[in-house]
Structure formats: C-alpha cells, structure tokens
Structure 1
Amino acid sequence: MVTSKLAEPTLLSDQVYFTLREAVVNGELPAGYRLRVRDIAEQVGTSVLPVREAIRRLEEAGLAERVPHKGAVVKGLTLAELIHVYDVRRLLEIEAAQLGAQRITPDDCEKMQAEYDLMRAAIDEGRVVAYLDHDEAMLTILYAAAANPVLLQTIRTLWIHCRAYKIVGANGTLDTAVDDSLWRYQRDLVAAASKNDVAAAAAVNDASLVDATDRIKALLAAQTTAL
C-alpha cells in the first residue's frame, strides 16, 4: 500500500514520484506490484495525470517496467541486472574510495564512525532499511571527500537502482547469525579512511562489492529454485 503522506518537492508530479520511489526502494512496494494509476491517485489524493507522469519517471529510472496485460509494475530482480549493476558499482566506488580516502578529514572520519555505529545498532535490531540508510550515509561521507559531485551523484543513482537487491542481500544475511559480512567491510573501510590508506580503502570496497554480488546471486538462485 502506498503511503498517503507526500514528500516535500514543490511540483505535484515530483511529490508523487518521490513518494512512489521511496516506497519501491524501501521494499514497501515489492517486485511485480501493479502500479494501478487510479488506485494510486486515490491513495495519495491527486488526479491521475501526476501519477501517470510519476510512473513514467519510475520506468526511466529502471524501477518499473511495462508488462503485457498488466501495465506498469515494480521491476523484478534478475541475475543479469545484478551482475551489470554491481560491476559498474565496483568501477565507480573503488575510484570514489581511493579519492575520498586520500582527502578525507579527521572530522569526517568521526562522522563515518557515527554512521557505522548506527548501522551496527540497526543490524542488531533487524531493521534492514535503516541498516542500508546508515551504510549509504557512511559511504556518502567518504565519497563526498573525493570532491567529485558527478561521481557521487552517479553512485547514489545506482544505489537507488539496486536498493531492491540490497534488501534481498541484507534480509538473507541477517538470518545467518554468524555472518559478519554486513558490517566487517564497513569497519575496515572506516579504519582505512582514518589512516588515509588509499590502497586499503580500494581493496575493502572491491572485496565488499564482490561479496555482496555473490551473496545476492545465491539468494536469488535459491528463491528461483523455491518457486
């Protein structure tokens, strides 16, 4: 169910788009969910025109797709897309980690540590969306230190695009009590940043994204087998 509380942007179509996008990336609207224009318009309290525009923008962002006899639905998860998206993330985020580790300040390292602590608390409490939010906030601090806003914005767009994959990976890993892969790499990344260790930061990011790809790939395969 789409939340009825609209976000802050001024234009009505922007409000509807950001509301729907948040519901998709946070898992409130799962893969395959039918985006019925009139139903959504009634839920958010608008006419159908802003909803149609918002759904079109979701399709452009790769978060929705057209399915015969169903119309627009929240995009499903595929192994091919997972590999493609995470390959691009590795290219960009290794570079961002290197540049950020070189330039980051002690004050920003403290902010990274604070986000890491909040992330660990979210893991302990099983709050997957909060875990992902704090993980991305921690990485944003490091990547922003690279002083390349285009690089940072491109990475954040990819995060939105692959949030559903991240949710699958985090949920599946939380079920394994002995698995430390949700926090071990972030701990090591904070340590590398604090030492301005460019090589270590790049290596940690590379290992983290390879591990995430493998874990999510296995979980998707298990889900497919179970169907």
Structure 2
Amino acid sequence: MDTSKRLEPALSMADRVYAVLHESIMSGEFPVGYRLRIRDLAALVGTSEMPVREAIRRLEEAGFAERVPHRGSVVKGLDLAELVHAYDVRLLLEVEATRLGAERIDSAAITRMRDGLVRMRQAIAEGEVMDYLDRDEAVLGVLYEASGNPVLVNTVRSLWGQCRAYKTVGARSALDKPGDDALWRHQERLVEAVEAGDADAAAAVTRESLASATDRIKAQLREQKK
C-alpha cells in the first residue's frame, strides 16, 4: 500500500494513521474481518505503535472496526439485520437532506452534480466499482451540502462508510449485468428533479432508491433465515 500521498502534514500522527487505515477499509483493501495488527500496521505506515493503537481505537468508536476475542481488532462489516436498520436511518436522513438541498442549491452546484453524473457513468463504463461509488457519493454530497446542515451531511457520510461493503457487492453484481441501468437510473432522475427545482420530486427519488435497497436487504435476510 502506497501511503506517501495520503499523509497530510498538518494532521497529528494519529490523525494521519487513522486516515490511511480508514481509506484502506473504505477501498476494500482491508476487507471485512481483516485483522488490524498493531505491529504490522505500524511497520506498514512507518510509525511507532502508539498512533496506530489510537487510530484503531477511533476506528472502533466510529464503527469501522470491532474487538473480537482471541483475534484483537478486526474490520467490521454490518450483518443483514444491522444493514436494514442502517438503511432505515439513511432513508429518514437522506430524504430530508435531499429536500433541503434541492430547495437551497444554486446553479453552480447543480452543474457540479451534472458533471459528477457524467464521471459516474464513465466509471460504470470502465467497470471501476470503487470509483463509481466515490462518484455516486460525490454527486449526492453536493446536493446534501446545499442543505446547509453539516451535522446532517457528516452523519449521512458515516452511514455510507458503514454500508460501503454491501454497496460494493451490489455495484459489482450490477456491473455484471449488461444493459442494467440500476447504477445510474435514480441518480439521473434525481439530478433532473433538482434541475427542475422540484424538491418534492427529488425527495421522492431518494425515498424510492433507498426503499428499494432496503427491500433487497430484507429479502436476503428472509432467505438467510430459512
């Protein structure tokens, strides 16, 4: 793992290590269940063990890692039941973030959404799953930031991180289906509603998208319980 481009000199060492580990988890480089061995990570990022220990503690507090008996800290993934709860909360928050953002967004931000949608479609065409997810979240981030509520935006971003592993699997599955528009259909409709100044329509698109994802998770959960 190349860490040289990730370490920001203005941050504390613990902040820098946290940023590296968090990015590795989000990108899938450290998959669910990956053991966060303090000594190995310290050697990897070139620090002492103390900032690594602090970074792992923060990852546990943020829900990205958990302590497992006889294994230490490992990368955490949500089970299906937890995912249902996470998506229920996402629906509540993101519908409101969409409505507020659509009511307050300016033309420059709408242009950024449209440009981001183009880059997202390019990532789909190239089969770049992680880039697609980043672009997708960037498009939504522009809209949600227009709400003017940074606490709302940060909470949503935290939920995105917790759902990332599931989103990655879903995106890869969709990419394997030629002609499937599931990866961009809702985003296109969302941008169109925002461009039209229709906050209610935009909120409805977000509600439909997240409700559909929740239904898929619930179906998987029912199959798992059989």
- Report the alpha carbon displacement of residue 102 of structure 1 after superposing the two structures with TM: 1.3
What is the CA-CA distance between 1:215 and the residue it aligns to?
A: 4.1
User: Counterpart amino acid of 1:114?
Assistant: D
Pairwise CA distance, 1:76: 2.7
| 1:4 corresponds to | 3
Separation in 2, partners of 1:219, 1:120: 28
* Pairwise CA distance, 1:4: 3.5
- CA–CA separation in structure 2 for the residues paired with 1:17 and 1:88: 26
Shift, 1:214, TM fit: 3.7
Q: CA 1:175 to 1:215, structure 2 compared with 1: closer, same or farther past 3 Å?
A: farther
Q: How does 1:57-206 map to 2 (within 5 A)?
A: 57-206=58-207
Which SS does the other structure have where 2:32 is aligned?
Answer: coil
Q: Does 1:47 align with 2:48?
A: yes
Instruction: Provide the rounded CA distance (Å) in 1 between the counterparts of 2:21 and 2:161.
Output: 12
Q: Which moved more, 1:156-165 or 1:32-41?
A: 156-165
- Normalised to the residue count of structure 2, the TM-score between the two structures is 0.92
Contact 1:115–1:134 (8 Å) recurs in 2: yes
* Partner SS state of residue 182, structure 1: coil
**Identical counterparts, % of pairs:** 57
How far off is 1:81 after superposition?
1.3
| Alpha carbons of structure 1 residues 42 and 221: separation in structure 2 relative to 1, 3 Å | farther
**Residues 159-185 of structure 1 deviation map (CA, whole Å, 9 limit, x = unaligned):** 122222211211121112232111000
Q: Secondary structure at the match of 2:3?
A: coil
- Residue 72 of structure 1 aligns to a residue in which SS? strand
Whole-angstrom CA distance in 2 between matches of 1:19 and 1:220: 33
Corresponding position: 1:213 with 2:214? yes
2: CA distance, partners of 1:68 / 1:208: 38
Q: Does the 8 Å contact 1:169/1:215 carry over to 2?
A: no
CA distance in 1, matches of 2:167, 2:98: 19
Q: How many residues align?
A: 223
* Change beyond 3 A, Cα 1:203–1:217: same
Consecutive unaligned residues in structure 2, runs of 5 or more: none
- Tell me the equivalent position of 2:32: 31
Aligned-residue CA RMSD (Å): 1.9
For normalisation by structure 1, the TM-score amounts to: 0.92
Find the residue that maps to 1:73 and give its secondary structure.
strand
**C-alpha separation between the residues in 2 aligned to 1:134 and 1:18?**
19
CA distance in 2, matches of 1:164, 1:148: 26
Alignment partners' CA distance in 2, 1:179 and 1:16: 39
Q: 1:50 to 1:221 in 2, by over 3 A?
A: farther
Offset from partner CA, 1:55-75 (integer Å, 9 cap, x none): 111111111111111111111
CA apart distance, 1:221 = 8.2
